[in-house]
Structure 1
Amino acid sequence: MKGNRMAVRSMTAYATTSVETVAGTLTIELKSVNSRFLDLQFRMNDEFRAYEPFFREAIMANVKRGKVECRLSFARSTQEASTLTLNQSLLKELLKLQHEIRHQSSEANVMSVNELLRWPGMIEDVAPDQETLQQQVKQAMDDTLKTFTSEREREGAALTKALVERVHAMQEIVTRIEPLIPQLVAQFQKKAVERMQEALGMAIADNANASQTQQEASERIRQEVTLYGMRIDVAEELARLKIHLEETKNILEKGGLVGKRMDFMLQELNREANTLGSKAAIKELSNASMDLKLLIEQIREQVQNLE
């Protein structure tokens, strides 16, 4: 079973990667916080918008819940910024034409450097290799996602450990109070019979038809004991609590996407804890109900962070 266990992931994490590309320094940041669903937001330069579909697909393959912000910043390198070059063939052609014109008309003005530089096509911008840049951007995103996922799993493992500890604490409470239930019912029955018998004695003294009074009182005792015994018997609630707690532990041990399943189990656990409190006839049961609800609330707070 443990060999097939999937990692439990937190919805909160942060990761960043900076790499030197053929065009400059690229920095990718990923951060996420809690959310009921997957909510993706992208912050990037317009020149990198073409990569957004790839980023979106990569994130969705690794993240199922959470509000995720992907931020991409870019700083051009000084080397890349100085890749402007002269169109040598065009320059030679212009100078040749200028020489021919001046040969025919010596009054023709010589073109200035500024005029030559402003001539259409004279300045060439040597763009970086787009295929190489694309590969570097995708690799940077993959590296960032690996770190991001690792952070989510690390925090998820810590949260899982804390949750399992609280589940064990709840199981210990159930184990502690379970033997008290038969004793509680027996004690009530004994006290109820004693009270009813005392009332029966008074009724016999006041009633000439003692035989009929005794029969009616005995039946009343049986009804009261049975009715109240059912009200204070929480054996079924404890049995369901044990089942729910075991299933909760199984969910955490199996791992994977546990957030929504844990939400459902907490609703069931809280329902049984409330019923236990409403039926509490002794202080021990009332205290147990309060302790269980406190642990359930602590688990609920942590589950909000799980994917």
Structure 2
Amino acid sequence: MIRSMTAFARTDRHLEGYSLAWEIKSVNHRYLEVSPRLPESVRALENAVRERCRQALARGKVEVTLRLQQDNADAALELNEELVKQLSDVSRRVGDLVQHPGQVNPMEILRYPGVLSTRELDAEQLHSEALSLLDETLTALLDTRAREGEQLGKLIEDRLDGITDQVAIVRSALPRIKDALRERLRNRVKDVLDTPDPDRLEQELVLLAQKMDVDEELDRLATHVTEVRRILKKGGHIGRRLDFLMQELNREANTLASKSVDSETTAAAVELKVLIEQMREQIQNIE
């Protein structure tokens, strides 16, 4: 299975009194780089989040964000009724002492420390639910990566077909090209014979022999295409291996272009380089 490094996944879970939502965004990167963004109340989970990401992913720049929200803020507040009664009694007694009786202001009592408190979430349950939901989110991310990877694989296969076609075009043109080169060689030899120069004749022969010998480059191109297809079929973490093969394919295309003595082979070499570059761009996103 081929996986893309570019993907996004989001999951959420509603629990009693609060809700959780994970968002994971990943883009291509040479290595695995995980950046957790967690609320302060679950900051202790950072190492566990990194470890789960390392187990699920091999490459990519990954942003992992957890959002924690209490569903009903009012319901989460707890009133210390005993403290309220004490403060009310003390307030009335103070009023009597200063001979300034009056009603107790409820808002003043609410401002007193300890009167209102927020119901604490169960930390153990919260951590357990958060990690469980993270596992679901990573699964969703992997599914997305797999779907994207399948599309990338098809695009690469199309380019490989194009390379195979160009290699076939050059192979079929070689007999005609070699005949044309032989004719040029005969004409040059005739010029040499008119003004004998053995060194020049030897140089011409060596140069034209090199120009005519592209069979090795064509064979290597075909071999690399076969290897790319094999790796695509194998799947897994193949991005770096494919990137290396793109360099090898590009090297053979450059050599073919440098040896070209015909417009048809030059055009084929240019098309090969275009196809290889298109594949290389796609492969940058493969894990």
Amino acid at match of 2:66: L
Moved over 4 A (4+): 85-88, 112-126, 219-223
- Partner residue of 1:276? 256
The correspondence for 1:180, drawn from 157, 164, 173, is 173
The alpha-carbon distance between structure 1 residues 23 and 57, as it changes in their structure 2 partners (threshold 3 A), is farther
1:33 aligns with 2:27: yes
Distance 1:305 1:16, change over 3 A: same
2:78 is aligned to 84
Alignment of 1:1-307 (within 5 A): 7-78=1-72, 81-82=75-76, 84=78, 86=80, 126-197=119-190, 200=193, 202=194, 224-225=204-205, 227-307=207-287
> Residue type matched to 2:37 in 1?
R
Superposition deviation, residue 130 in structure 1: 3.7
Offset at 1:225?
A: 3.6
- Displacement of 1:241 in angstroms is 0.9
Count how many residue pairs are aligned between Structure 1 and Structure 2.
276
Residue by residue over 1:277-300, the C-alpha shift from the partner in whole angstroms, topping out at 9 and shown as x without a partner, is: 111011111001000001011111
Structure 2 gaps, min length 5: 91-95, 98-103
Which of these two proteins has the greater Rg computed from alpha carbons? 1
Describe the superposition over 1:164-192 as per-residue Cα deviations: whole angstroms up to 9, x where unpaired. 11011101110221132244223322442
In structure 2, what is the Cα distance between the partners aligned to 1:120 and 1:220? 102
**Post-superposition offset of 1:131:** 3.7
Over 3 Å counting, the alpha-carbon distance change for 1:118 and 1:164 in structure 2 is: closer
Percent identity over the alignment? 37
Taking the aligned partners of 2:243 and 2:111, their CA distance within structure 1 comes to 68
Retained in 2: the 8 A contact 1:26–1:73? yes
Larger deviation, residues 233-242 vs 75-84: 75-84
Q: Give the gaps of 5 or more residues in structure 1.
A: 1-6, 99-106, 204-212
1:76–1:279 distance in 2 versus 1, CA, 3 Å: same
Q: Deviations over 1:173-231 (max 9, x none)?
A: 1022113224422332244225424653x46xxxxxxxxx7xx87x9767744541233
Residues 79, 226 of structure 1: alpha-carbon distance in 2 compared, 3 angstrom cutoff: closer
Q: Which residue of 2 aligns with 1:4?
A: none
What TM-score do you get using the length of structure 1 for normalisation? Answer: 0.77
C-alpha distance in 1, partners of 2:115/2:186?
112
TM-score (ref. length: structure 2): 0.82
